[in-house]
Amino acid sequence: MSVIQALDIGLALLVLAVAGWTIAAREAFASVVGYVAYGLLLSLVWVRLFAVDVALTEAAIGSGVTGVLLISAVVRLRQTEAPAAAERPGVALRVLAGALCAAVAAALATVVLLMPDPGATLAPDAAKHLDELGVGNPITAVLIAYRSFDTMLEKVVLILAVIGVWSLAPDRYWGGAGGPRRVARPEGALAFLAQLLPPLGVVVAIHIVWVGANEPGGAFQGGAILAAMALIVIMARLAEAPEIRGRWLRLTLIAGPAVFLAVGVAGFAIPGSFLAYPAGWAKPLILFIEAFMTLSIAATLPMLVIGPPDRPPRP
Amino acid sequence: MSVALDIFTIVAISAGAVFFMAGTVGLLRFPDSFTRLHALTKADNLGLGLIVLGLLPQADGLLGALKLVAAWLLVQLAGATVAQLIAHALRRRDPPA
């Protein structure tokens, strides 16, 4: 057994141990911390599987944004933690839930173990047409060219999620803003970080979107970094989240899917079918769509984390 | 030359791993949250610095080396900020007598 294999097995065992601990932890907060650590370890696993794009997304979304969301949920649920622990379900229900989970895990394990080797793959086909598209990263090609319809609908789902969160607002707060309020003189370590980091983060985010055409990276990863910068500034109370009635906010939220849809409809006119790119124009169009999608993702994720508005709109 | 660089890499990364280990031992053994925080952040910053130093000769050109150094600086910034935030929260929870 080589050193690398030993490290891989150690990593797999560590992921399993952290997953087990996350489930077993008694306190919700400890559980969330375990979940974030689990996500970061999982992104190392994706790197070992040479899926760097997935690793970046897992670290940014699976661990980062979801972690912040879960922590704010834990803080809100703190009052209910003791009564919820008292309402423990009966033995029969717990055994049933355990059996169901074990059955699902066993079925998944069977499917994975019975896969043909080498598995069925579309990778050679995906790589064959990269030159015509002008992009070097096959993942970007799959997301924005081969399966562009799915990617567009994903962005629409994100907007639906924001609408879902906003619709939890009481009527009197509709149109207002949520999240921490701005203070006149923010101080402390977080304010320092929030002043120092965003310029760097914006550059890194644009870099990641730009190299996404040829290397790991892309709109989702870059958008997640921009979203993180916005969240740091809001959490440090340097700025407030925008009011949800704001025209610019709403335009930014829908810009990505709208541009995607417009390019798709234009495909009817020029190459002759929905979401088809005219020959020679694929790469500029892909970058154009990605730029607007990055903006939309960068606006969507903070709005999801901030939650529904909790104060009335300013007169 | 390349053997010398490889030896330098191995020595620097091993030294970095020792610092990480020291930080972990401190985290497990120190008596209260402030000292644990101290052990963790000090040892990890130095440990990561040594690991980055060791990886520099193996980096992919100048740009790769700069990216490694940037990662170290960003981790230092994040680590120092988080340590301040945790310490502040601890102070607020149990004010000093």
Distance CA A230, CA A298 (A): 8
- The residue of chain B nearest to residue A189, with distances taken between CA atoms, is B81
What is each CA distance from B55 to B5, B59, B65, B68, B72, in whole angstroms? 10, 6, 8, 8, 12
Candidates A180, A220, A293; CA nearest to A60 is: A220
Please name the residue that has the structure tokens 């080396």.
B65
Which residues of chain A are within 8 Å of residue B84 when distances are taken between CB atoms?
188-189
- Region A183-196: mean pLDDT is 83
Running DSSP on this structure, what letter comes out for residue A65? I
Task: Indicate the average pLDDT of chain A.
Answer: 86
Least confident of A77-86, A98-107, A299-308, B13-22: A77-86
- Selected residue of A40, A187, A190 to mutate for chain B interface (largest B Cβ count, 10 A): A190
Half-sphere exposure of A62 (CA within 13 A, CB side): 18
CA A191 to chain B, closest CA, distance in angstroms equals 10
Query: When comparing pLDDT for A85 and B83, which is higher?
Result: B83
**Domain residue extents for chain B:** 2-93
What is the token pair recorded at A22?
Answer: 């996350």
ipTM score: 0.81
Percent of chain A with pLDDT over 70: 99
Distance CA A223, CA A290 (A): 10
Cβ–Cβ of B84/A189 closer than 8 Å?
Answer: yes
- Region A33-56: mean pLDDT is 91
- The answer to whether the CB of A39 falls within 8 A of the CB of A67 is yes
Which residues of chain A are within 8 Å of residue B80 when distances are taken between CB atoms?
189
At residue B1, the pLDDT reads 65
Please name the residue that has the structure tokens 């803003």.
A177
pTM for the model stands at: 0.85
The yes-or-no verdict on residue A199 having pLDDT over 90 is yes
The per-residue DSSP string of A131-152 comes to: HHHT-S-HHHHIIIIITHHHHH
- The residue of chain A nearest to residue B85, with distances taken between CA atoms, is A189
At residue B97, the pLDDT reads 60
- Selected residue of B81, B90, B92 to mutate for chain A interface (largest A Cβ count, 10 A): B81
Run means of pLDDT, 10 residues per run, chain B, 97 residues: 87 93 89 86 87 89 90 89 87 76
